[in-house]
Chains A and B, each alone.
Chain A
Amino acid sequence: MLFQNLGYPWYLATLMAFFVYAGTAQFMIIGLLAAGVGLTEIAISTFLINSRHIFYGISMLNHYGDWGLRKVYLAFGLTDETYSLVTTIDPKDAVKKKQQYFLITALNHSYWVISCTIGAVIGSSFSINTQGMEFTLTALFVVLLIEQWKKIKNLLPFMIAAFSAAVALYLFSEQMLLVSIALSVTLLIANNLIKKSR
């Protein structure tokens, strides 16, 4: 729906829902397109915002068997919603397990494509002034940050991140994103090693 306000035809929203299939990233791209950023930034931002999926995948390693192309599709469809469903159910029977995982993934995927298409078609019937829409990006990250805080309730990662962001911003303003992420992950691992050696 928001996508429409940038003046693109509705079927592009359908295509994006089908292939990209990532709510936060699709939400984010509206802000990025409105701000007119380049393809490299889009690739990096999409990768970063979806980097949490790496950890979903890691925790599903022992659940998804060697099912060939089906497994590739299950990995492709491992969104926040799918992840929360497949980790909630616990089928005992191996054959059933494969079918249920596949069904959940495919149903979630089709609901997503259908609802994005409906949103885009409705959105094309009216338009608004999009100035300031890039704030969706800030709002999205602020909300995700609060959600992370609720889950973790530990100041450490936030302090490491704030420190790394400040250093990166001060020293390498242009490459701030990459530098601060590399620095904070390094500090995090260093912290873990120090804790262990004590």
Chain B
Amino acid sequence: MSNTEYILTVILVMTIATFSTRIMPFLFFHGRGNHPIMSYIAKYTPPMIMSILVVYTLKDVNFSNEIGLYTVLAVVATITIHVWKGNPLVSIFTGTFLYMFLIQM
């Protein structure tokens, strides 16, 4: 598969995955939007998934070498800037630039 073909496949896969999250409720929960267990799950699933995804992206980091240290520094920087400024793009860019700078030194 050429590089462009690969990206087109990636786009197709992502389109299907994204669209399915948006169309699913309209297909499966037609007329049942107010059930209490649904709103309970709706409220608490996003924070759980975000926590798990953070662990997932960090699971292969070796915290006993310098990469581990850079990761910790960049995560702390991202949290600090986000709590301070509250702008997601600024926090993500700053954290990533710090990490890229440290790792490329």
Q: Which of A88-96, A110-118, A150-158 contacts B (4 or more CB under 8 A)?
A: A150-158
* A103 in contact (CB, < 8 A): no
Q: A50-B21, A57-B22 are in contact. Are A137 and B57 (CB under 8 A)?
A: yes
> How far is the CB of A82 from the nearest CB of chain B, in Å?
10
* A184 in contact (CB, < 8 A): yes
Cα–Cα distance between A185 and B47 once the two chains are bound (Å): 11
Contact with B along A60-82 (1 / 0, CB 8 A): 11101000000110011110000
Cα–Cα distance between A108 and B46 once the two chains are bound (Å): 23
B: which residues have CB within 8 A of A? 3-4, 7-26, 29-34, 37-59, 71, 74-75, 78-79, 82-83, 88, 91-92, 95-96, 99-100, 102-104
Cα–Cα distance between A13 and B32 once the two chains are bound (Å): 37
A: which residues have CB within 8 A of B? 8-9, 12, 15-16, 19-22, 25-27, 29, 33, 39, 42-44, 46-62, 64, 71-72, 75-78, 129-133, 135-149, 151-152, 154, 156-158, 160-162, 164-165, 169, 173, 176-177, 180-181, 184-185, 188-189, 192
Question: Chain B contacts of A46 at CB under 8 A?
Answer: 13-14, 17-18
Cα–Cα distance between A72 and B26 once the two chains are bound (Å): 9
Asked whether B104 lies within 8 Å of A132 as measured between CB atoms, the reply is: yes
> How far is the CB of B31 from the nearest CB of chain A, in Å?
7
Q: Taking each of B34, B83, B92, which has the highest tally of chain A beta carbons within 10 Å of its own beta carbon?
A: B92
Q: Interface majority SS on B: helix, strand, loop or mixed?
A: helix
Question: Chain A contacts of B75 at CB under 8 A?
Answer: 138-139, 142
For this complex, 7 residue pairs linking A to B, each with C-beta atoms less than 8 Å apart, are A26-B14, A77-B22, A139-B75, A162-B55, A177-B52, A184-B52, A185-B48
Cα–Cα distance between A156 and B74 once the two chains are bound (Å): 26
The number of A-B residue pairs with CB atoms under 8 Å apart is: 245
Which B residue sits closest to A164, measured CB to CB?
B52
Asked whether A12 lies within 8 Å of B38 as measured between CB atoms, the reply is: no
> How far is the CB of B19 from the nearest CB of chain A, in Å?
6
Question: Chain B contacts of A158 at CB under 8 A?
Answer: 47-48, 51
| Residue among B17, B26, B38, B50 making CB contact with A148, cutoff 8 Å | B50
> How far is the CB of B91 from the nearest CB of chain A, in Å?
5
Question: Chain A contacts of B99 at CB under 8 A?
Answer: 132, 135, 139
Asked whether B53 lies within 8 Å of A49 as measured between CB atoms, the reply is: yes
Cα–Cα distance between A43 and B99 once the two chains are bound (Å): 26
Question: Chain A contacts of B55 at CB under 8 A?
Answer: 161-162, 165, 169, 176, 180
Cα–Cα distance between A59 and B43 once the two chains are bound (Å): 11
> How far is the CB of B48 from the nearest CB of chain A, in Å?
4
